[in-house]
């Protein structure tokens, strides 16, 4: 049996903030259980503070669960075996402004274990897929927000991951950039890659995802499939509003 791309089982994450006397605790997600199947596009919707970014970080091993279990392709997210199969695009990724995109990508390619001709090929391919080739001669300091987002996606694609974890991939982009990125993600999914994306844009998630998880104050309030929102008169937006109210 194929392991799920992502599996959360009774996951809780509580942040501890040390204070002068004792500490302050804040539970970001609690009792969270869900799965993302290989090759599936899963959307994650929720208001600010609902726990979306926490979930992304738990999947990528940047955070450790306080309770419960997270697995990525059957491995702990901290395992090399899991990380080798995941590509992550954080919200508003940063790249050193003084270098050109290929140099930045080469660095992240090396960190993914690529070298030599394989690395050059991966950098070229990622730039091509994300439409960065015409801007190859520019320094990153000259990049627009949309180009930075493309670069962020390009670094996530370098090692041909089986799962893409994308935090707000179209946030702040102009309509043309959104269109391009949507097409790119659809193409990646068509290749069999699972995509797990969070967004504030319900319409974007609606266009891409086959299933949506709606988070409310750290708990999974609803799981909605494409068939369900297509059958609903108000679409996904109505279902989301009902869930978060």
Partner 1 sequence: MNSLFLVRAVAFNSFSESVRNRFFTLFAVFAFTAVYASVLAGVMAVDQESRVLADFGLALIELTALAYALFGASSALLKEAETKTIYLVFSRPVPRWAYLAGKLGGALLTAGLMLLIMAAMHLSLLAFRGFGPPPFYAWALAGTFLKLAVIVSFAFFVSLFSTSAVSTLVISSIMWTLGHFASEARFLAERLPGLKGTAVSVFLWLIPNLQLFNARDAAGAAAAPGPAVLLPAAAWVAASFLGSLWLLSRKEF
**Binding stretches for partner 1 (CB under 8 A):** 57, 60-64, 80, 83-84, 86, 88, 90-96, 98-99, 107-108, 110-113, 115, 155, 159, 165
The minimum distance between CB 162 and partner 1, in angstroms, equals 14
Q: Which is nearer to partner 1, 3 or 62 (CB)?
A: 62
The minimum distance between CB 243 and partner 1, in angstroms, equals 28
Q: Which is nearer to partner 1, 165 or 170 (CB)?
A: 165
Tell me the residue ranges of DSSP E strands in 19-108. 23-36, 41-46, 67-72, 86-89
C-alpha span between 60 and 88 (Å, rounded)? 7
The minimum distance between CB 219 and partner 1, in angstroms, equals 21
Q: Which is nearer to partner 1, 163 or 178 (CB)?
A: 163
Local structure of 121: helix, strand or coil: helix
Place of tokens 């040390």: 18
The minimum distance between CB 168 and partner 1, in angstroms, equals 12
C-alpha span between 127 and 99 (Å, rounded)? 15
The minimum distance between CB 111 and partner 1, in angstroms, equals 5
Q: Which is nearer to partner 1, 114 or 236 (CB)?
A: 114
Q: Report strand pairing: 211-216 vs 194-198.
A: unpaired
C-alpha span between 226 and 228 (Å, rounded)? 5
C-alpha span between 82 and 76 (Å, rounded)? 7
The minimum distance between CB 86 and partner 1, in angstroms, equals 6
CA distance readout (Å), 112 to 63, 95, 116, 167, 184? 20, 17, 13, 20, 21
Question: What is the layout of strands, in order, in the sheet containing 6-18?
Answer: 23-36, 6-18, 67-72
Place of tokens 């015409």: 134
Q: Which is nearer to partner 1, 4 or 77 (CB)?
A: 77
Q: Which is nearer to partner 1, 149 or 155 (CB)?
A: 155
């Amino acid at each position: 049996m194929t392991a799920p791309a992502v599996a959360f089982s009774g996951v809780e994450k509580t942040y501890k903030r040390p204070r002068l006397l004792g500490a302050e605790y804040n539970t970001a997600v609690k009792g969270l259980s869900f799965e993302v199947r290989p090759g599936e596009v899963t959307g994650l919707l929720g208001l600010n503070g609902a726990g979306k970014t926490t979930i992304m970080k738990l999947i990528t091993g940047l955070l450790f669960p306080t309770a419960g279990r997270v697995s990525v392709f059957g491995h702990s997210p901290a395992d090399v075996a899991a990380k080798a199969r995941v590509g992550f695009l954080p919200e508003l990724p940063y790249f050193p402004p003084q270098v050109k995109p290929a140099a930045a990508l080469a660095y992240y390619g090396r960190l993914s274990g690529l070298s030599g001709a394989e690395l050059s090929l991966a950098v070229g391919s990622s730039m091509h897929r994300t439409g960065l080739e015409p801007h190859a001669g520019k320094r990153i300091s000259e990049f627009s927000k949309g180009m930075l987002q493309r670069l962020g996606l390009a670094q996530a694609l370098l090692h041909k991951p089986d799962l893409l974890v994308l935090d707000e991939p179209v946030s702040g982009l102009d309509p043309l950039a959104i269109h391009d990125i949507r097409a790119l993600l659809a193409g990646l999914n068509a290749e069999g890659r699972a995509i797990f994306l969070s967004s504030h844009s319900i319409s974007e998630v609606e266009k891409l995802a086959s299933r949506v998880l709606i988070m409310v104050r750290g708990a999974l309030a609803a799981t909605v499939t494409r068939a369900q929102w297509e059958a609903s008169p108000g679409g996904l937006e109505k279902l989301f509003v009902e869930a978060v109210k």
